C-alpha cells in the first residue's frame, strides 16, 4: 500500500502503529503545519459517490480493479491486482471479485480502505466460479465446472455446504455421453430466494463449441434452508448475461439475455426475456428478439419500458450497440458500430443511476470506456474512450442492490 505523506516525518511522532486494517494514526505536533491535500485530490484517491467499479484485464498475465468517475471521464489512482479473467459484484458494502478459471478464488475488497483486499479464498482448482451472493453468514457461489451451488462461511472462507444440482445435469448429448457440469452462471437475490441460471451446454458435442442441446434452467434456491425451491425451464436456451431486476409493466421482473447458438455456431434463436416475480412466470414476448437485433444479444441495460440498450454480435462478427423499446420489442437505432474485420470488441455495459451509459471498448491500441448521456438523447460525451489503465471487461455499480 502506498503511503501519502500529509506530514513531515521528522517533526511528528507516530502514536499508534496499527488500528484495524493496518493504517497509521499520526499525532499532530504543535510545531507542525500539515499540508493537507486539496478537496479534488482527496475525492480522487479511490472513489466518489457516483463512481463505478471496472474489472480490467491484459488477457494474459493479470488484471486490475479500477474505479471510474463517468461525470469526469476519469479513473481513480487505486489499482488492485486481480486475475486476468474476472467479473465483479457489489454487495453488503463490499466489492467481490470473482476470479474465474485458473485462479478460482473470491477476492473481497473494502471500499472504506481504498479497496484493500481483506479476504481471498479458493473455491477449488478448476471449479471456475461465476458469481457470488451474500446471505447472513453465508456466501453462495455458482460454479461453471460443477454440479452444485457451493456455500462458504462468510467469516472464514471455508466451505460449509452445497446445494446439489446433480439431478439437473443434461440428459442428452450428440456424442451420446452427457457431461457432469450444469454450467451455473449468474445469480440474483430476491428476499430469501436466490435465482441461479444453468446453461446446461453440451461439452461433448463433436463441434467443440458447447452448443445448447438441452433446455436451460432458472433455479430458485431457498438460502435459509439451502435447498431448491423451484425449477423453471427457460423459453430460450443459453442465458449469458447478468440478471437485472427491472420494474416493468407495473411490477418487478428478472431480465436476462439468452443467446442460444452463439459465435462460430451463431443462429437467430433467442433474445432478452423477462421473468415476473409475482407469478413466477415468463413474460410471453421477448423484450428484444434476435430476429430484430440481427444477431446474438450478449449484454444489455434497460432504463424503462420505453428505452433499452443492447450489445449485439452478428454472424459476420460485426459489433453494435443498439437502442430498443422493451415494451414493443422494436429497434430504435444504433449508437455504435464496429465492423467484424476490425480487431475491436465491446465488453462491459452499465447504465448508471444518473443515466450515463458506459460501454467498454477492447481496442488494444486505445482501450477504455465510452460514455453516453441517455438523458440528452443518447449523446456520446467522449469520442475517444476514457482510459482505465488496461482493457475494460466488466463494469458495475458500487451500490448495494435493493
Per residue in 155-197, pLDDT (tens digit) is 999 999 999 999 999 999 999 999 999 999 999 999 999 999 9
Select 123-237's CATH number: 3.60.20.10, 3.40.50.300, 2.60.40.10, 2.40.10.480.
Answer: 2.40.10.480
- The pLDDT of residue 7 is above 70: no
Taking the model in full, what pTM does it have?
A: 0.89
State the number of CA atoms in the 13 A half-sphere of 218 facing the CB. 30
- The pLDDT of residue 14 is above 70: no
Q: Which of 39-43, 90-94, 337-341 has the lowest mean pLDDT?
A: 39-43
Distance CA 245, CA 289 (A): 19
Confidence of residue 22 (pLDDT cuts 50, 70, 90): very low
Cell numbers representing residue 59 in the block: 488477457
What are the residues whose beta carbons fall under 8 Å from the beta carbon of 145, sequence distance 6 or more?
101, 126, 127, 128, 181
Would you list the domain boundaries of the chain? 1-36, 123-237
Confidence of residue 39 (pLDDT cuts 50, 70, 90): very low
Supply the pLDDT for residue 365.
86
Distance CA 207, CA 230 (A): 33
pLDDT digits (tens, 9 = 90+) for 296-306: 999 999 999 99
Higher pLDDT, 384 or 31: 384
Distance CA 296, CA 290 (A): 6
**228: exposed, middle or buried (C-beta count within 10 Å: 0-12, 13-18, 19+)?**
middle
Confidence of residue 5 (pLDDT cuts 50, 70, 90): very low
Per-residue burial over 360-371, b = 16 or more CB atoms within 10 Å of its CB, e = otherwise: bbbbeeebbbbb
Distance CA 40, CA 282 (A): 48
pLDDT digits (tens, 9 = 90+) for 98-148: 999 999 999 999 999 999 999 999 999 999 999 999 999 999 999 999 999
Q: What percent of the chain has pLDDT over 90?
A: 85
The answer to whether the Cα torsion of 45, 50, 56, 62 is positive or negative is positive
Distance CA 139, CA 108 (A): 11
Over residues 8-16, mean pLDDT: 33
pLDDT digits (tens, 9 = 90+) for 229-259: 999 999 999 999 999 999 999 999 999 999 9
Supply the pLDDT for residue 48.
87
Q: For residue 325, what is the DSSP state?
A: E
Per-residue burial over 9-48, b = 16 or more CB atoms within 10 Å of its CB, e = otherwise: eeebeeeeeeeeeeeeeeeeeeeeeeeeeeeeeebbebbb
First vs last Cα of the chain: how many Å apart? 33
CA-closest candidate to residue 232, choices 247, 215, 249, 246: 215
- The pLDDT of residue 45 is above 90: no
Question: How many whole angstroms from its chain centre is CA 179?
Answer: 27
Q: For residue 180, what is the DSSP state?
A: S
pLDDT digits (tens, 9 = 90+) for 87-97: 999 999 999 99
3-class DSSP state for residue 168?
helix
Supply the pLDDT for residue 75.
96
- The pLDDT of residue 16 is above 50: no
Supply the pLDDT for residue 161.
98
Per-residue burial over 295-326, b = 16 or more CB atoms within 10 Å of its CB, e = otherwise: bbbbbbbbbebebbbbbbbbeebbbbbbbbbb
Amino acid at each position: 500500500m502506498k503511503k501519502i505523506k500529509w506530514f513531515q516525518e521528522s517533526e511528528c511522532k507516530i502514536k499508534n502503529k496499527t488500528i484495524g486494517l493496518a493504517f497509521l494514526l499520526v499525532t499532530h505536533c504543535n510545531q507542525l503545519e500539515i499540508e493537507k491535500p486539496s478537496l479534488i485530490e482527496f475525492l480522487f484517491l479511490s472513489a466518489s459517490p457516483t463512481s463505478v467499479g471496472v474489472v480490467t484485464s491484459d488477457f494474459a498475465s493479470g488484471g486490475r480493479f479500477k474505479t471510474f468517475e463517468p461525470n469526469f471521464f476519469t479513473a481513480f489512482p487505486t489499482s488492485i491486482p486481480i486475475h486476468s479473467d474476472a467479473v465483479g459484484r457489489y454487495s453488503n458494502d463490499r466489492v467481490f471479485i470473482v476470479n474465474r478459471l485458473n485462479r478460482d478464488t473470491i477476492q473481497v475488497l473494502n471500499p472504506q480502505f481504498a479497496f484493500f483486499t481483506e479476504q481471498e479464498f479458493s473455491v477449488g482448482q478448476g471449479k471456475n466460479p461465476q458469481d457470488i451472493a451474500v446471505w447472513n453468514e453465508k456466501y453462495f457461489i455458482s460454479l461453471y465446472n460443477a454440479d452444485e451451488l457451493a456455500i462458504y462461511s462468510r467469516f472464514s472462507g471455508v466451505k460449509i455446504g452445497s446445494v446439489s444440482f446433480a439431478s439437473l445435469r443434461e440428459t442428452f448429448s450428440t456424442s451420446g455421453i452427457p457431461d457432469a457440469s450444469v454450467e451455473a452462471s449468474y445469480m440474483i437475490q430476491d428476499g430469501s430466494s436466490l435465482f441461479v441460471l444453468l446453461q446446461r451446454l453440451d461439452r461433448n458435442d463433436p463441434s467443440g463449441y458447447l452448443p445448447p442441446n438441452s433446455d436451460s434452467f432458472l433455479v430458485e434456491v431457498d438460502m435459509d434452508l439451502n435447498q431448491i425451491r423451484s425449477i423453471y425451464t427457460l423459453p430460450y436456451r443459453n442465458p449469458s448475461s447478468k440478471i437485472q431486476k427491472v420494474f416493468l409493466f407495473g411490477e418487478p421482473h428478472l431480465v436476462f439475455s439468452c443467446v442460444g447458438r452463439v459465435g462460430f455456431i451463431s443462429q437467430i434463436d433467442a433474445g432478452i426475456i423477462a421473468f415476473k416475480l409475482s407469478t413466477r412466470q415468463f413474460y410471453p414476448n421477448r423484450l428484444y428478439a434476435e430476429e430484430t437485433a440481427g444477431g446474438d444479444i450478449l449484454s444489455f441495460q434497460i432504463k424503462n419500458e420505453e428505452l433499452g440498450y443492447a450489445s449485439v454480435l452478428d454472424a459476420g462478427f460485426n459489433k453494435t450497440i443498439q437502442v430498443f423499446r422493451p415494451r414493443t420489442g422494436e429497434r430504435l437505432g444504433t449508437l455504435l458500430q464496429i465492423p467484424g474485420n476490425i480487431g475491436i470488441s465491446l465488453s462491459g455495459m452499465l447504465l448508471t443511476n444518473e443515466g450515463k451509459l458506459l460501454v467498454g471498448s477492447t481496442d488494444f491500441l486505445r482501450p477504455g470506456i465510452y460514455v453516453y448521456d441517455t438523458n440528452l438523447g443518447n449523446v456520446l460525451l467522449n469520442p475517444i474512450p476514457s482510459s482505465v489503465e488496461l482493457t475494460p471487461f466488466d463494469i458495475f455499480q458500487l451500490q448495494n442492490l435493493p
